[in-house]
Structures are given as C-alpha cells and as structure tokens.
Structure 1
Amino acid sequence: MKRAHLALAFALALTALPLSAAPQDTRQRDDIAPLSIDKDDRAMNAARAEARRTLPAFLALLANPPEGTGGYAIKFPLEGWEHIWVNELEIDGKVIVGQLANYPEQDGYEIGQSVRVPISQITDWGYRSAKGVMQGHFTTRVLLTRIAPADAAQIRDDMGWSE
C-alpha cells in the first residue's frame, strides 16, 4: 500500500498564532504528526477535492486579503509524498511562493525554507477570518477524526470551529 504523510503539527501551531505570525517551533507537537495516510483514503481524497474545488475563491482572497484576515497557508506534497503547510504566501503567476511552515520529515528541508509551489499541486488551504475562525483546512478536519478526542477538541476550539 502506498502511503503519504500529512503533518498536523502546523495546524496545531497555527491555532495559537496571531494573524501575522511566522512559523513556530512545532517540534514539541511531533507526537501527533506525521500521520500516514493511504493514497486511496476516501475521506482525505474528498477533502483534497473540496480544497481544489474551492481554491479559486481562496486565491482571490490571497490576492486581495480582506481587512482583519490572516494566517494564509497552503498545503502541497513536498517531493510528491509529504503533504506540508506553507505560509508567508505570495502569488507569482501560476506559482505560490512561501515558506515551509512545519518541520519536514524529509532530509534537505527545514522549517522556514522558501519553496515555490505550482498552484496545480495545492492539496489544501486555510486562513483565519476577521472573526478569528479558521477557514478551509479540509484535510485538517479529516485528521482531527484520527487523533485523541481531547486533542481534537482543543484544536477545534482553537480553530474557532464549533462542535
């Protein structure tokens, strides 16, 4: 079975960040991440499909962020298998330029490293609304069903998601 790795650490760190904060040291949360996901995982594939379907609206917001919003981030498969968050985003044609927002599992990469992500490779997106509620994070929502309920409840609360 082929598996992909998804990092939940960034979602955890992002919940505690102010709207304009840079990546945080999330190593203390590595007991939760990475989670291995089968490539044919229906729930995760549906989440990615929803992220792709709604990506044009996210990109429009990223191009002209509404006042009070922040924490814009995307997720993509680094080297084709490790789905990782990127923040500090800028649109450069058909590419998003940003910084790795959590610790990569792969050698040769580090948090804060600049990357160029073709828009066609984005598998999730997220941002914090002016009301403080995380938007998007479709894959994060799936991952929350796969971790300890107390941890998931805390993350949902921090994300501003009601049960």
Structure 2
Amino acid sequence: MMRVLVMLSLAMATPAIAQSGDPTVGFTLDDRVMNAAIAEAQHSLPLFLCETVDDEGYGPEGGFVKVRVPVNPSRNEHEIIWVGPFAAWDSQNFAGFLANQPNAIDGMNRGDQLDFTYDMIVDWSWNDPKGNIYGHYTTRVIYEMQGQTDVLADFATPPFDATWSCE
C-alpha cells in the first residue's frame, strides 16, 4: 500500500539533536478527504504568497509551507513536512528550513535547508501578528480525523483572510 507521511507537529526550525522523526500520520495517496484539503490549500496558495511574501521573496514571519518530498520514488512514497521560514526565489523555486525532524528524508534534519519547487507545496500556514491562524488545510483534516475538534476552534474560518486580494 502506498503511503504519504504527513507531519503532525509544527516544531520551530531549529537544529535537531535527536535523530528520531517527529510524529506522523499516514494517508493513502487516494484518500479523498486529504486530497480535497490539499487541493483547497493549493488553490489558495497563490493568494497566500501574493499577500505575505515580501518584495525580496521572503515569506512572512510565522509563515510555513508544507512540502511533499519524494523519499522512495520507485514506490511513489513521499514525506510531507513543514518548511519555514521560507523564501520564493521566483514563481517556481523556493528554499526554506525543515521545521520538523523528518522520518524518511535521508540525510536531512530539522533546521536543514530544503530546496523545492512550487508544485511540491501541498499546504501553507501563517500565524499573523494579530493571532489569527490561517491555512493548515491538512492539519485540520488530521485533527478532525483524530477527534480533536476543540483544537479546530483556534483556526481562522475561512482558512485565509477574506480581505486578501492579488489585484
């Protein structure tokens, strides 16, 4: 069975001492609920980026993107992991620091720089200065699945600021 590993915790991007990975939740590649969350996150990603990335390409303080990193391409396996802070070098190329300790990304640890492309981003999050928690489309699915619906009250609804506009 093909699995996608989704990082559950959102640790800050600091160098890791321990080498064991952060907790993960496995999903099959055909999980309808998770795939719908990823599609919604990717649909709102351009809005998040145009509203929060500065003129030099740096993402906002408190902003993260969740990146699908191939770990076993022959079996179509990936680890999905939070990256932040991050920068957009252009519309397709990004870099950032692993915010979690990976479980399956060989040779990488929390705090290491990861280069990635736009199409690898499956989710985004931003804790803005006013205390709003935006994005976290896949995190919402995980909390719902685990019955932790009380935590969902902390997330903004809708998952982005309704005043955002890229025009």
Question: Structure 2 length as normaliser, TM-score?
Answer: 0.75
Rg bigger for which structure? Answer: 2
Of the candidates 34, 39, 43, which is equivalent to residue 33 of structure 2? 43
Give, in whole Å, the separation in 2 of the partners of 1:162 and 1:129. Answer: 11
Does the 8 Å contact 2:15/2:109 carry over to 1?
no
List gaps (5 residues or longer) in structure 2.
71-76, 158-167
2:68 to 73, 77, 85: 77
Q: Secondary structure at the match of 1:130?
A: coil
Within the candidate set 101, 124, 130, 1:103 is matched to 101
Tell me the CA shift for residue 45 of structure 1. 0.2
Per-residue CA deviation, residues 139-163 of structure 1 (Å, 9 max, x unaligned), is: 00001012253xx53x446xx3379
Pick from 23, 44, 56 the counterpart of residue 54 of structure 1. 44
TM-score by length of 1: 0.76
User: Equivalent residue for 2:53?
Assistant: 63
The aligned counterpart of 2:116 is 117
Contact 1:3–1:39, Cα closer than 8 Å, also in 2: yes
Gaps of 5+ in 1: 15-21
Which residue matches 1:90? Answer: 87
Count of residues in correspondence between the two structures? 144
1:4-19 aligned at under 5 Å gives the runs: 4-10=4-10, 13=11
**In the alignment, residue 81 of structure 2 is paired with which amino acid?**
I
Q: In proportion to residue count, which structure has more helix?
A: 1
Q: Percent identical across equivalent pairs? A: 31
- In 1, the alpha carbon distance for the partners of 2:28 and 2:88 equals 30
Letter of the 1:147 counterpart: Q
The alpha-carbon distance between structure 1 residues 74 and 148, as it changes in their structure 2 partners (threshold 3 A), is same
Matched AA of 2:26: S
